[in-house]
Amino acid sequence: MDNELEKKVAELQEMINGSDNIVFFGGAGVSTESGIPDFRSQDGLYNQKYDYPPETILSHSFFMRNPSEFYRFYKEKILLVGSDMNPEPNKAHKKLAELEEAGKLKAVITQNIDDLHHRAGSKTIYELHGTVTRSYCMDCDKEFDVDYIKNSEDVPKCDVCGGIVKPDVVLYEEGLDMYTMEQSINAIRNADMLIIGGTSLVVYPAAGLIDYYRGHKLVLINKGTTGREAGADLVINGPIGEVLGAIKV
């Protein structure tokens, strides 16, 4: 860690020490250090070549029109839980869980659909885009776990009614869950410190949540620049695992 980064981490430590209602809002960059690819970087999913663009495959209309091709992509590139790759929580996930256990952090709001925050030990998690760990029958609403999807051939079908099973993730063209949004807004509105990490803040409506923060400790941690740095109280351009991993609880 270079001197400039050390100085900023020290500022972050001081801000955390003086806060007891911290909310963390994170994106794909939180999990890339666990080996999960993001979407928009040079090596991200959106820059890889498939028969259809990933944005098209991960849309509601494509899922309804071609569930077989959707699941081929989903199982290969999205459903990484318990796979040979077996991603594990990194220093960022673990530190956030420690901060919550210490009573400092009140909520994790994530755009990610992996379960790494859960596996790290975080309890209050608002998953804006859903999670790969749950799926449900579109006809009878029966819930299925991730193993059922992984072990199914082609398109998973409900073992009760035979309906198509859909992952509990928010696809393009679908709206976010309103309860999750309301809980996230309330958490941010009441926070005395908001840490935003691993997101470029370009995906709406999720990125608009920052506008509900009323405090004066807005921290952005990201490898690249974001569009909201001008209004931040502290900007740290660095790996979020390294930055949060250096924080003492």
Longest dimension (CA), the chain: 61
Structure tokens at 189: 């509105």
Contact 136, 165 (CB under 8 A): yes
Structure tokens at 121: 């030990």
Name the pairing type of β-strands 105-110 and 125-127. parallel
Q: How many DSSP H helices and E strands does the chain contain?
A: 10, 9
Contacts of 182 (CB under 8 A, 6+ apart): none
Amino acid at residue number 238 = G
Question: Which one of 60, 93, 117, 129 is the catalytic residue?
Answer: 129
The order of strands in the sheet holding 193-197 is 125-127, 105-110, 22-26, 193-197, 218-221, 234-236
Query: Is residue 129 among the annotated active site residues?
Result: yes
Amino acid at residue number 27 = G
Which residues does the annotation mark as catalytic? 129
